[in-house]
Amino acid sequence: MSELDKISSIFDAKIGSAKSKEDLQNLKTEFFGKNGKITQQFKTLASLDPQKRKEFASNLNKIKDDLTNQLEEKSSEIENIEINQKLKNEKVDITLPVRPYQQGKIHPVSQVIDEISSIFSEIGFSVAEGPDVETEYNNFTALNTPEDHPARDMHDTFYLDENKKILLRTHTSPVQIRAMLNGKPPFKIIVPGRTYRCDSDQTHAPMFHQLEGLHIDKNITMGHLKGCLDYFVKEFFEVKKIKMRFRPSHFPFTEPSAEVDIGYRIENDKIVIGEGDKWLEVLGCGMVHPNVLKNAKVDSKKYQGFAFGMGIDRLAMLKYGINDLRAFFETDYRWLSHFGFDPLDVPTNYRGLSK
Ligand code: DAH
């Protein structure tokens, strides 16, 4: 047996038992590496006489090609086996029954914020936000509530520094100032968010939620305000008709100001919103005071508009028959699974808000 035949048969035996890419790599080094068996043979060529060299070189090249082909074939064979093995391991049995799982619920306050945002977005309002930690200036002074104004006492403010310059916002109204200073009129925004007052009982929590509305443009009147709130209240309570009254009131940042009441009655111990001879206060509103526009760098000769503010938690309690506000913030999972909403059921006007 010639030297080349020997090499060839050693290779045949070894490639037959190669199982992995690593085995193949070792084989490649053994035969074609720097000191590999085939490489060695090429090195002997120089010492042969011309006639023999030609014949030997031709045989050597044939064997080299043959071994290289075998290595390539084996390599794709191993690759296939590996892919099939991987596919087999990654197989998912879709006939398995679903494992029982606990689904989270959307808190009624979040639900109501989504509902209200959806209702107002239908008529062109966009959602704006501001920080919970505010300056005394934005929370009061810029809103036409100077230092000695009695309205400040009514707010039971949490101040965060000794000089009473930084506070937890007592209402969402300071975002009116931020929004107007940050852009150019017209403005048409709603602002849901957290607000804080030092107060706690069955219907008051130190942290609660408000929603502010602001619409500033040319020629905006109290008529637009009434139309906007009439639309909102009907959409929110999902009723066709609702009794509503505007009661004169006072807020430093609006002139004139009003509070809005809606009619209701009690039927079988349940509240029925919309009709009846009882009145329920749901929000405060008015035409934005020219001083507020001035502080927010808006030309009050050219632009005017309305603002409103409402308590979100109270609206959620009314709509969903929840009678203790404190439960909202106790993070009791049993309460949430009863009063919470399906996370996949995003409220929209056209698909329905709460049903
Ligand atoms: N900020 C008021 C409050 O917390 C609510 C309010 C009333 C907001 C009238 C307004 C408004 O924008 O026009 O009690």
Instruction: Dump pLDDT digits (tens) for 308-324.
Output: 999 999 999 989 988 88
**How many C-beta atoms lie closer than 10 Å to residue 47's C-beta?**
8
Pocket of ligand 1 (CB under 6 A): 171, 173, 212, 251, 254, 284-286, 307-309
Helices 3-17/37-44 angle, 10° precision:
160
Give per-residue pLDDT as tens, 242-298: 999 999 999 999 999 999 999 999 888 888 888 899 999 999 999 999 999 999 999
The pLDDT value recorded for residue 1 is 72
What is the best residue among 175, 253, 255, 259 to mutate for testing ligand 1's pocket, by most ligand atoms within 8 Å of CB?
253
The pLDDT value recorded for residue 102 is 67
Give per-residue pLDDT as tens, 17-41: 889 999 999 999 999 999 999 999 9
Mean pLDDT, to the nearest integer, of 38-54? 89
pTM: 0.72
**How many C-beta atoms lie closer than 10 Å to residue 341's C-beta?**
20
Query: Following CA atoms 189, 192, 196, 199 in sequence, which dihedral angle do they give, to the nearest 10 degrees?
Result: 110
Burial (Cβ within 10 Å: 0-12, 13-18, ≥19) of residue 54? exposed
Query: Following CA atoms 235, 238, 239, 243 in sequence, which dihedral angle do they give, to the nearest 10 degrees?
Result: -60
Q: Cα–Cα distance between 102 and 100 in angstroms, integer?
A: 7
The pLDDT value recorded for residue 205 is 85
Report the separation in Å between the CA atom of 259 and the middle of ligand 1, taken as the mean of its atom positions.
9
Give per-residue pLDDT as tens, 339-349: 999 887 777 76
Average pLDDT, the chain: 91
Which of 350, 113, 107, 122 is closest to 238 using CA atoms? 350
